[in-house]
Structure 1
Amino acid sequence: MKFRDVSFGIVLLSVVEAYLTLYFAPQLRPTGGLGRLGARLFVLNVILYGIWAGVIYPFFLSPLRHIPSPKGGSILFGHSLQARFSKPRGEKSRQWMEEIPNEGLIRIRDFFNQDAVIPTSHEILKTILHDNTYDYEKQPRVVEILRRVLGDGLILVEGDVHKFQRKHLLPSFQVKVIRDLYPVFWSKACEMTQMLAGMTAEPEVEIGVWCTRVTLDIIGIAGFGRDFHSLKNPHDEFVEQYNMLLEPDSAKAIFFALNLMFPGKLVNSIPFWDIPKKFLNISGNLNNFAYNLSKDRRAELSSPKLSTAEKEKRHDILSLLVKSNDFTDHELAHQVLTMMAAGHETTSSTLSWCIYFLALNPQIQTELREEIRASLPSPNVLQSESITAAQIDTLALLNGVCNETLRLYPTVPVTTREAIRPTRLGNYMLPAGTSVIISPWAINRSASFWGEDALEFKPGRWINADGSPNKTGGAMSNYSNMTFLHGPRSCIGQG
């Protein structure tokens, strides 16, 4: 039940109780009259509700209380801190999956001992993500926070709105469209390696920064037809504001956590704290940028000064969406912000982990370098040679290294859904409001799905016996790999 509904119910009950008390037992009226009596009853009702919701219901009455569950847990936070925030995120869920005998579900006590379940089997995951996907939505408070930054883009919308957006966005993410962008990826990769080559005298290089800058340039060109030139100029106003919003720090983490537990208006009204104001200001600036970008692109593609041939050359995703005429400029702005958030930092993070694994495995690094040098032109001759998708897609070890990195370090290690109506999951009927914690980290590293070497970096599992690349890694089910989720709400940009 929502915080607002509970609060209203307790207030209403307290008022009714106060009037009934004065009518049937006027001798109990305290000094101060009806108001003081109502206030006392409100406090009493809050305490009684807390005992009911936090102790009596979850431990003695919940229909999910017989599902296998980990031991221990906090009186106030249950197992939520371990399930959601332990580092690395998702590792605790993996341990529970391995240690607790279960039939596809593990029950945990979430914040204030509310019910939550962790799916652990392919069948249960398929039910949630494919068969009944619209019975499970993102948690309202998470959506409320993210909507201030992303608007109503594909990631956050639900139901029929999501179906409409996905249907009209899919053509812009077809395999052919993505393959046409390979030369963009290649040229920016070459530009970065040339810049790094000039830094060999440095004692150390912060590679994560370079990964962020190159992927920002790539998403700019491929997604919006705009080169941010972040590799050469990291001080672009938009880039700085975007990075400021995403840069992790303790204050932002506290702000996000408070928004999960309490209404946003209450958190934003905390005195002498500038984080909410900064958050609102930056998100407003980013929204204005995205809107102006979308409006200008529409005007450009509608201009008679631009020839038909020039319009056809525009293969960036924003131009394709403008040409489709399926979205207004405001709706396009929301998709721009969504693509930035979903396609930039995720790719940057994966590239960083990929380099990390290659540093730990020099033999694989050497073999990969040999494969690439035998098949692709040198980045030093960028002006005279480019590459094709066919050249990249046939590189078996490159395919293995990338897919194994994505398996071991999914960019979203834990995500949460909420049952919006009573719905059957396995042998249990989930009440509306039950949280479903899906952990790609735990599934992707499960020995049950990947074997005893599940925790090892083994690109060879993505290479067939004949030396060709595969997309399964030897797993028996698609639901063994949850990096991009599955079903109607899977990542549209996974290609």
Structure 2
Amino acid sequence: MNLFTIPSPSSLWTTLRSGSAFHVACSFAALWAFVKVLRMLRWRVKTTQLLGPPRTSLVYGVSRDLAVSQDSAAIYERCATEYGVVYMIPSILGRTRVVLCDPRAIAHFYARETWTYVQTPISLAFLEASVGKGILWAQGETHRRQRKALTPAFSNAAIRKLTSVFYDSVYKAKGKWDTVIESSKDGDAVIEVQNWMNHISLDTVGIAGFSHDFGSLDGKSVSVTEMFDSTFGNNQPSTVNEVFILLALVFPIILKIPTERQKLFKKLSVTMEQISNELLIRSRREKDANIGERGQENSIIGLLIKSEGQDTELHMSEEEVMAQMKVLLLAGYGTTSVSLTWALIELSRHPDVQTRLRDELLAFGPDPTYDQLKANLPYLDAVVHESLRLHPPAPESIRLAAADDVIPLSEPVRTMSGNMTDSISIAKGTWITIPIAAINRSSTIWGPDAKEFKPDRWLTEDGIGGKAKEVQGHRHLLTFVDGPRTCLGKDFAIMEFKTVLSVLVKNFVFEMRDGPDTPVEVARGILPRPRVVGEDGTGVPLRIRRYE
């Protein structure tokens, strides 16, 4: 028999049928391993092999070191200093990630995100399970369509109309704080501010986005606030959960295992869907009866309902509409409240900055309008952006190359072979990491005072250095990322941030409960949140008194 004769499909099937299940399984395993080896060889040939830190774990590479670190940004920055502006880090089960710390490389990456660089399988699986196939999950043309449909709700004109909603929420919180302080014998009170920032943000997005008051600032107990408090308030993953999350980077099916944490996320998703469905039914009913304010069609929920009935390119399915609402609920409770909490911590640590900000607000007089908040309060703007620089709610992003690419660099790096190169080749299937927090506070990019809370850097012409100016993105920050996936709610979040901070700082004095040197750590979870060391959950108790 000719050794090179190719067996016919029928003879191959006969062989498989006659063979044992064990032999069949071994054959498929061998085929799977062969394909993996081919892919690995292609990756090594097509991808520029870069220097990087050694593997500290056979299973995790350096991924667990980064996951458990209180300052993963410092690890990324230290590697950039040692190995160059782009480098490789060993990851889970032999995988490798390319880390971009070069402004030109990052700009190239973001310009091609959602097309050449896409969500990882674990990100897609987690997003679909928690919030559905909305704008966070969508990629390519689907993402462009969904974003275009939602854009009018986040225009300057739309946010200008919502400024009064921001004020209403923060003044409701102010009234509650006044009552607490008045009942105190000492004229001050210890208030856990993170929970209050959560509820200010949730009630604001409820009214601004869905014309619905959740009433969390009034202490109203509703299923969505209970679930948010439960999920975000005790979000420190166990060691077992950390291992599950890391292994799921390679095997997303692990997310299907019903751990307690996964059950909690599932329950949160179901609760958000129930609330979203109730709001949609009510809004559709009001639309049919022509109830509501003029211009409501450009609200978030108005645009979503409008998109359902369109046969145009902007049409969204009922599943997509539901997903957008869940995304907005989650974002409303999460990201802005984290930023506000960090700002209050920094102001408590820096009483001179707090006093200067209060002086600017008091000198201005009445509550500023939308346009005045944007243009007439430079120190408020500086404090907000300095807080966003130091404490981005999402400290890093990981993407997967969907196609081969060549990334240009602003300065050459040394490859593993010892050659210098001013561009790197990326093979399809490569994991790419953008260490957002590390770039935002890199000493190489922002100068020797990069780790300091220093709002003054935003007030002078030379406050932002030459290297920082090379970083593309809102105000040279990566906090809102860049490119086609730039945060759609960026202007909404900044305006809410400024409104809430202006009212609170004008009316109250903030101090760390246990003194200015009180240690604050990062509690890991869906979003990394600040927590005073020793507190349960995500507690940030501050000593607050009214400013007289």
Q: Give yes or no for TM over 0.5.
A: yes
Alignment partner of 2:147 out of 134, 142, 166: 166
Are the aligned partners of 1:186 and 1:387 in contact in 2 as well (CA < 8 Å)? no
Displacement of 1:390:
2.5
Are the aligned partners of 2:111 and 2:482 in contact in 1 as well (CA < 8 Å)? yes
Q: Deviations over 1:368-419 (max 9, x none)?
A: 1111122243xxxxxxxx6421232211111000000000000100111100
- Aligned to 1:250, the other structure's residue is in SS state coil
Kindly indicate whether residue 192 of structure 2 is the aligned counterpart of residue 206 of structure 1.
yes
CA distance in 1: counterparts of 2:190 and 2:246, whole angstroms: 35
Alignment partner of 2:76 out of 64, 87, 93: 93
Using a 3 Å threshold, how does the CA distance of structure 1 residues 337 and 89 change in structure 2: closer, same or farther?
Answer: farther
Using a 3 Å threshold, how does the CA distance of structure 1 residues 361 and 282 change in structure 2: closer, same or farther?
Answer: closer
Displacement of 1:43:
7.3
Using a 3 Å threshold, how does the CA distance of structure 1 residues 163 and 42 change in structure 2: closer, same or farther?
Answer: closer
Alignment partner of 2:269 out of 269, 278, 283: 283
Are the aligned partners of 1:423 and 1:431 in contact in 2 as well (CA < 8 Å)? yes
Higher mean C-alpha displacement, 314-323 vs 279-288: 314-323
Counterpart position of 1:448:
444
Using a 3 Å threshold, how does the CA distance of structure 1 residues 268 and 313 change in structure 2: closer, same or farther?
Answer: closer
Alignment partner of 2:364 out of 354, 358, 375: 375
Counterpart position of 1:145:
126
Unaligned runs of 5+ in 2: 1-10, 310-314, 409-422, 492-548
Counterpart position of 1:492:
488
TM-score, scaled relative to structure 2? 0.73
Displacement of 1:50:
12
Q: Deviations over 1:270-323 (max 9, x none)?
A: 6xx54444433331232122123123212212214x27xx33367642224434
Alignment partner of 1:432 out of 423, 428, 448: 428
The one-letter code matched in structure 2 to 1:250 is P
- Superposition CA RMSD, Å: 3.4
Higher mean C-alpha displacement, 112-121 vs 400-409: 112-121
Displacement of 1:96:
1.4
Alignment partner of 1:345 out of 309, 330, 334: 334
Are the aligned partners of 1:53 and 1:114 in contact in 2 as well (CA < 8 Å)? no
Alignment partner of 2:320 out of 319, 325, 331: 331
Displacement of 1:440:
0.9
The one-letter code matched in structure 1 to 2:127 is L
Counterpart position of 1:120:
101
Displacement of 1:476:
4.4
Using a 3 Å threshold, how does the CA distance of structure 1 residues 444 and 344 change in structure 2: closer, same or farther?
Answer: same
Counterpart position of 2:355:
366
Q: Give 1 or 2: higher strand fraction.
A: 2
Kindly indicate whether residue 191 of structure 2 is the aligned counterpart of residue 225 of structure 1.
no
Alignment partner of 1:79 out of 57, 62, 68: 62
- Aligned to 2:425, the other structure's residue is in SS state strand
Counterpart position of 2:388:
406
Alignment partner of 2:51 out of 64, 68, 82: 68
Are the aligned partners of 1:98 and 1:446 in contact in 2 as well (CA < 8 Å)? no
Are the aligned partners of 1:133 and 1:487 in contact in 2 as well (CA < 8 Å)? no
The one-letter code matched in structure 1 to 2:270 is G
Displacement of 1:340:
1.8
Alignment partner of 1:179 out of 160, 176, 192: 160
Counterpart position of 2:279:
293
Are the aligned partners of 1:18 and 1:37 in contact in 2 as well (CA < 8 Å)? no
Are the aligned partners of 1:155 and 1:338 in contact in 2 as well (CA < 8 Å)? yes
Displacement of 1:216:
1.0
- Aligned to 2:219, the other structure's residue is in SS state coil
Are the aligned partners of 1:213 and 1:234 in contact in 2 as well (CA < 8 Å)? no
The one-letter code matched in structure 2 to 1:236 is V
- Aligned to 1:429, the other structure's residue is in SS state strand
Kindly indicate whether residue 173 of structure 2 is the aligned counterpart of residue 192 of structure 1.
yes
The one-letter code matched in structure 2 to 1:317 is I
- The size of the alignment, in residue pairs, is 449
Are the aligned partners of 2:198 and 2:333 in contact in 1 as well (CA < 8 Å)? yes
1:243-262 mapped onto 2 (5 Å cutoff): 243-247=229-233, 248-250=235-237, 256-262=245-251
Kindly indicate whether residue 469 of structure 2 is the aligned counterpart of residue 475 of structure 1.
yes
Displacement of 1:111:
1.0
CA distance in 1: counterparts of 2:24 and 2:316, whole angstroms: 51
Alignment partner of 2:256 out of 248, 264, 268: 268
Are the aligned partners of 1:447 and 1:453 in contact in 2 as well (CA < 8 Å)? yes
CA distance in 2: counterparts of 1:147 and 1:78, whole angstroms: 28
CA distance in 2: counterparts of 1:473 and 1:398, whole angstroms: 24
Using a 3 Å threshold, how does the CA distance of structure 1 residues 53 and 375 change in structure 2: closer, same or farther?
Answer: farther
Using a 3 Å threshold, how does the CA distance of structure 1 residues 150 and 133 change in structure 2: closer, same or farther?
Answer: closer
Q: Give 1 or 2: higher helix fraction.
A: 1
Kindly indicate whether residue 221 of structure 2 is the aligned counterpart of residue 235 of structure 1.
yes
Displacement of 1:127:
1.1
- Aligned to 1:68, the other structure's residue is in SS state coil
Unaligned runs of 5+ in 1: 1-14, 24-32, 378-385
Counterpart position of 2:377:
395
Are the aligned partners of 2:276 and 2:326 in contact in 1 as well (CA < 8 Å)? yes
Counterpart position of 2:138:
157
Displacement of 1:464:
4.0
